[in-house]
Structure 1
Amino acid sequence: MKNIYAIGVGLIGGSLCLDIKKNNPEAVIHGVSRKDATLNKALELNIIDKKATLDDLGNADLVIISIPVDATVTLLPTVLDKISDTGLVVDAGSTKVDICKAVENHPKRRNFLAMHPIAGTEHSGPTAALEGLFVGKTNIVCEVEKTTFKLQEKALKLFSDIGMRMRYMNPEAHDKHIAYVSHLSHISSFMLGKTVIEKEKNERDIFDMAGSGFASTVRLAKSSPEMWTPIFKQNKTNVIETLEEYINNLTHFKQLMEANDFDAINSEMENTNHIKDILKGIS
C-alpha cells in the first residue's frame, strides 16, 4: 500500500500516519482536511508528505478516516464512491453501528473495513500525534467478513506490523462494550471536572490541593467535546444504560456512608480491587 490518504490528521490519524511511514518508508502519505492550517501543521511535523483533496482519492491504495463519528457517517459513502476497485477505506471511529449501517448497501462495501484502534490521549490535533501510540493496543475490527479478503489481509498486516492486536466483534457488541470501558470513563471525568470547577468558585484553594489522583481521574475531561458529543449521540442507548448502572452504584455507596456502614464500604472496595488483576499489563 504505497499511496495512503489520511482524512483527519489529528491524534489518531496522525499517529497512524507516523507509524505506517516508519514501517513503510516507500509509502506516500497524503493528508486531507477541511482546514488548510491543519495540513500545514501536519506537513511541518512530517506527519504527511503531501496535501490532497477528496477528488484525489481515486489514486489511493488505502484511505484512513479519523474524524468525528457523525462526519464519518456522512462522508464515508462519498469516499467509497471515489476510490478505485482496488482501494481500501478504513475508519477509526469509537462507534460502529451507525457507521456500518451508512454503507451496508453501498456497491463498494467490500472495499471498507470498519475498525476502532483503542488508543489515545486527551489531546487533539496534529501536535498530539505520537509515534508508537498503538504498540500493544487492541484494534477492534467489525464485519470483517464483508471486506474483500485480499484487501483485509493487507490492512490487517499493516496494522499488526505497527504493534496492534486484532480482535473481531460485531458492531452492536462493540458499541455496547465500549460504552462501559471508554464512553462512561469520559463522562465520569467530565462530570468530576464540572463538580470541582463549580466548587472552586467558592473555595479558591481547591486546586492547590489537587494531587496526582485527581489529575489522572480528570485527565479525560480535557478531551475534545467536538469529538465526544457525536460519540455520545450515536451510542445514546448504550451510554444511558451504563450511566444508570453507574448512578445506582454511586447511590448505593452514598447510602452506605449515610448508614455508617464502613465495613460494607471496605468490602465494596476490596471486591473492586480485583480490577487490578483484570487490567494487569494495560498501561
Structure 2
Amino acid sequence: MNNIYAIGIGLIGGSLAIDIKKHNPDVVIHGISRKDSTLETALSLNLIDKKATLDDLAHADLVIVSIPVDATVKLLPTILDKISDNALVVDAGSTKEAICKAVESHPRRRNFLAMHPIAGTEHSGPTAAIEGLFKGKTNIVCEVEKTTFKLQEKALKLFTGIGMRIRYMNPIAHDKHIAYVSHLSHISSFMLGKTVIEKERNERDIFDMAGSGFASTVRLAKSSPEMWTPIFKQNKENVIETLEEYILNLTHFKELMKENNFEAIFDEMKDTNHIKDILNGIS
C-alpha cells in the first residue's frame, strides 16, 4: 500500500497519516479536501506529501475516508467507482449502519472495509492531528466478511502496526453500543455547557469557580457540531433510547434529593463507583 489517499485531513485523518507514515516511511500520502486551505495547512504540517482530487483515486492502493458521516454516505459510492479493482477503501465514521447500507449493493463492495477507530480529542482540523493517537486504542471493524480477504489482511496489518486493537462487530450492534459510550457522553457535555453558559449570563463570575471536574466533564462540548450533528441524525433511534434512560436516572436522582433520601444517593454513587473497575479492566 504505497499510495495512500486521505479524504479528510482533520484530527482522525491527519493523525492516521502521521502514524502510518512513521511506521511506513516509503508510503506517499495524498490529501483530498473540499478546502484548498486545509490541504495547504496539511502540507505545511507534513501530514500529507501531495495534494490530490477524487479523479486521482485510480492510482490509490488505500483510501482513508475521515469526513462527517453524512458526507461519507453520499461520497462513498463515488469513491468506489473511481478506484482500481485492487484498491481498498476504509472509513473512520462513528456510525456504521447507514454507511454500510450505502454501498451494500455496490459492485466493489468487496473493496470496502467499514471501521471505527475509538480515539479522538475535542479538537478538529489539521492542527489537531497528533502522533500516537491510536496506540492501544480499539478499532471496530464491521462486516469484515464482505471485504476480500487479501485487502482486509493488508489493512489489519497496517492498523495493528500503528498500535490498534481490532474488534469485530456488526453495524447495528456497533451503533447501539456506541450511542451509550460515546454519543451520550457528547450530548451530556454539550448540555452541561449550555446550562452553565445560560447561568453565566446572570452570574458573570461562575467560571472563576469552575475546577478540573467541570473542565473534564464539559471538555467534549468543544467538539465540532459539523461532525456531531450528522452522527446524531444517523443514529437517531439509538441516541433517543439512551437519552430516555439517562433522563430517567437524572429524574430519579432529583426525586431522591427532594425526598432527602441521601442514604439512597450514597448507595447509588457507591454502586456506580464500580465503573472504575470496568474501565481499568479494558484500558
* TM-score bracket, shorter-length normalisation: over 0.9
Counterpart of 2:113 in structure 1 is 113
Write out aligned runs for 1:14-163 (5 A): 14-163=14-163
Q: Deviations over 1:101-155 (max 9, x none)?
A: 0000000000000000000000000000001000000000000000000000000
Distance 2:161 2:263 in 1: 49
User: Secondary structure, in 3 states, of the residue corresponding to 1:63?
Assistant: strand
Query: Per-residue deviation at 1:41?
Result: 0.2
Distance 2:216 2:281 in 1: 18
Are positions 1:259 and 2:259 aligned together?
yes
Distance 1:85 1:205 in 2: 61
RMSD: 0.7
Query: Per-residue deviation at 1:282?
Result: 6.1
4+ runs of 1 displaced by more than 2 Å? none
Distance 2:59 2:117 in 1: 25
Counterpart of 2:227 in structure 1 is 227
Identity %: 85
Read off the aligned partner of 2:172 and give its amino acid letter: E
Distance 1:239 1:163 in 2: 30
Query: Per-residue deviation at 1:192?
Result: 0.1
Structure 1: gaps (5+ residues)? none
Read off the aligned partner of 1:69 and give its amino acid letter: V
Are positions 1:167 and 2:158 aligned together?
no
Read off the aligned partner of 1:85 and give its amino acid letter: D
Query: Per-residue deviation at 1:281?
Result: 6.2
- With normalisation by structure 2, the TM-score equals 0.99
Distance 2:163 2:184 in 1: 26
Distance 2:21 2:125 in 1: 18
User: Secondary structure, in 3 states, of the residue corresponding to 2:280?
Assistant: coil
Count of aligned residue pairs for this structure pair: 283
Distance 2:12 2:281 in 1: 22
Counterpart of 2:245 in structure 1 is 245
Write out aligned runs for 1:205-220 (5 A): 205-220=205-220
User: Secondary structure, in 3 states, of the residue corresponding to 1:279?
Assistant: helix
- With normalisation by structure 1, the TM-score equals 0.99
Distance 1:281 1:48 in 2: 36
Distance 2:282 2:140 in 1: 16
Q: Deviations over 1:259-279 (max 9, x none)?
A: 000000000000000000000
Structure 2: gaps (5+ residues)? none
Q: Deviations over 1:189-212 (max 9, x none)?
A: 000000000000001110000000
